[in-house]
Amino acid sequence: MSKSRVKYICSSCGYESLRWLGKCPSCESWNSFTEELVEEKKSGKKKYSGDFSISKLISESIQKEERIKTNIAEFDRVLGGGLMPGSVVLIGGDPGIGKSTLVMQAASKINTDVLYVTGEESINQINIRAKRLKVVNEKISVMTETDLDIILSAIEKHTPEVVIIDSIQTTYKKDFDNAPGTITQIRECTSELMQLAKKKHCAILIVGHVTKEGTIAGPKVLEHIVDTVLQFEGERSYSYRILRAQKNRFGSTNEIGIFEMHDDGLHEVLNPSEIFLSEREKEISGSVITSSMEGTRPILLEVQALVTPSAYGNPQRVATGFDYRRLSILLAVLEKRADLRLSVQNVFVNIAGGIRIDEPAVDLAVCCAIASNFSGKIAKNDAVVIGEVGLGGEVRSVSNIEKRIQEAAKLGFKKIIIPANNLKSLKKKENINIIPINDVNSALKEILV
């Protein structure tokens, strides 16, 4: 016999409590507990006496893994080469960012049977979207359904190789009294889909919503269940969208896919450096070009800085697309090692194009941009700056230096400032003047005119 009782579950991490809590003790998010009915099963003491199967690990005789290509190069790269049969991929993202557009465009290019299940739009609305996105693929079957049991039986019967569920928040299982979108429903529906994916050897793409308030369960709790978690992100005011892998059981999590949203859907951005630099104002202080590795790809980006005297006691520091704490450290380094009085200045740093960088290799470019705007001197606009800055003001070596230099040379830059320690690892000669430096001060002397 099982009985139901009310529990409070954190919508961001799934922590359970018998009473309501304002702050989750596990993930520390506020106001995230929702009331849910949870079935409690009595644990039986009877031992299992049935049969089971165990097999040997035989890696040599396994056939080469066959991936299902979405035929969207940016998407396939983030997935690690395509969709793995028998796996579940979760795509999360803010409302309206373009999740449904991305999965529909992927469905249109997949060369195998696809079942597109939607609980959010009617058949008519889907057709209107498909027409706008110019989707013509005989192999796509569409189903508007939210009942999981019906969806599962459709998958069992039609055996598509790829299933798209848009979205997991609208899917529900009748056995549970909880409303669709609650943690229990999301968790149960996903694990049943996962089991079916393994059994039928089909790939399932699940769309999940993220809400900041946590009123509807976000896909955080699903991250442990599924094989791959992709995040589709972008700034509302920009048309660029970035697809990033947060977890991938079958590929690297370093790769990103860059898209641009147009009227007729998402377009792949195959030359991101050119696009991110296209709107650059050349004769302006506080602008420096750097190179960041996004997975295996180098991308040239513009770092912008604005330094203004602070009218109040507490100067502001704002970083967009760059780590705020890293900015504070770099400001302290500039103050102490380069003798720049920045403690009474407001400092704003922005990575142009709405992209976010978590790489220390852009440190030196951030320092140069701040120093350039503070001193009013323009940074040489034909130069690229790369290097990690240490607390002593020293410039440390970075990874993939050859690829970064190649990209800078390809885009017509004349000079590249690199950490001196990276010099010995250079083998190929590019058509660019390489300037090795050891510390922040020599970089500033080199770049500011």
Ligand X SMILES: Nc1ncnc2c1ncn2[C@@H]1O[C@H](COP(=O)(O)OP(=O)(O)OP(=O)(O)O)[C@@H](O)[C@H]1O
Tokens standing for residue 320: 């967009």
Residue 288: CB minimum distance to Mg ion, A: 38
Residue 199 interacting partner from ligand X, Mg ion, none (CB closer than 5 to 8 Å by kind): none
Q: Which stretch binds ligand X (CB under 6 A): 48-56, 93-101, 135-143, 213-221?
A: 93-101
Q: Applying CB under 6 A, does 82 fall inside the site for ligand X? A: no
387: contact with ligand X by CB under 6 A: no
- Among residues 97, 365, 385, 416, which is the contact residue for ligand X, using CB under 6 A? 97
Q: How far is the CB of 192 from Mg ion (least distance, A)?
A: 22
Contact between residue 68 and residue 85 where contact means Cβ atoms under 8 Å apart: yes
**Whole-angstrom distance, CA of residue 418 vs CA of residue 424:** 11
**Residue 92 binds to ligand X (criterion: CB under 6 A):** no
As given in the structure block, the two tokens for residue 239 are 């048309």
CA distance 363 to 440: 10
Nearest Cα neighbor of 86 from 72, 58, 65 is 65
- In the complex with Mg ion, which residue's Cβ is closer, 32 or 100? 100
**Structural contact between residues 144 and 120, judged by C-beta atoms closer than 8 angstroms:** no
Residue list 31-70, contact with ligand X (CB under 6 A):
none
Please choose which of Mg ion, ligand X, none residue 101 contacts, taking the beta carbon within 5 to 8 angstroms, the exact cut-off set by kind: ligand X
3-state secondary structure of 102: helix
Sheet holding 415-419, edge to edge: 317-320, 345-351, 297-309, 287-294, 383-385, 415-419, 433-437
Closest CA relative to residue 207, chosen from 192, 185, 188, 186: 186
For 325-341, the DSSP string reads HHHHHHHHHHHHHS---
Beta carbon of residue 149, minimum distance to Mg ion (angstroms, whole number): 23
Residue 138 within binding range of ligand X, rule CB under 6 A: no
Q: Which is nearer to Mg ion, 114 or 416 (CB)?
A: 114
Q: From the list 11, 32, 87, 100, which residue makes contact with Mg ion (rule: CB under 5 A)?
A: 100
Q: Which of residues 175-234 bind ligand X (CB under 6 A)?
A: 209
Is 248 an interacting residue with respect to ligand X (CB under 6 A)?
no
Which tokens is 193 given? 């889909």
Please choose which of Mg ion, ligand X, none residue 261 contacts, taking the beta carbon within 5 to 8 angstroms, the exact cut-off set by kind: ligand X
Is residue 237 a contact residue for ligand X (CB under 6 A)? Answer: no
Question: Which uninterrupted H or E stretch holds 373?
Answer: helix 363-375
User: Exactly one of 22, 95, 309, 313 binds ligand X (CB under 6 A); which one?
Assistant: 95
Q: Is the dihedral of CA 358, 360, 416, 370 positive or negative?
A: positive
Which stretch in 100-108, 253-261, 370-378, 396-404 sits in contact with Mg ion by CB under 5 A? 100-108
Total of residues contacting ligand X (CB under 6 A): 13
Near ligand X by CB under 6 A: residue from 11, 12, 100, 248: 100
Q: 176 or 259, CB closer to ligand X?
A: 259
Q: Report the DSSP beta bridge partners of residue 221.
A: none
Peptide bond into 29 cis (omega under 30): no
- Amino acid found at 134: K
Interface residue with ligand X among 261, 275, 411, 420 (CB under 6 A) is 261
Of residues 126 and 398, the one with the C-beta less far from ligand X: 126
Q: How far is the CB of 118 from ligand X (least distance, A)?
A: 9
Residues 117, 37: Cα–Cα separation, whole Å: 27
Contacts for 254 with CB less than 8 Å, ≥ 6 apart: 245, 294, 295, 296
Q: Which is nearer to ligand X, 93 or 353 (CB)?
A: 93
Angle at 140 between CA 135 and CA 142, to 5 degrees: 100
Please report, as ranges, the residues that interact with Mg ion according to CB under 5 A.
100
Please report, as ranges, the residues that interact with ligand X according to CB under 6 A.
93, 95-101, 120, 132, 209, 261, 263
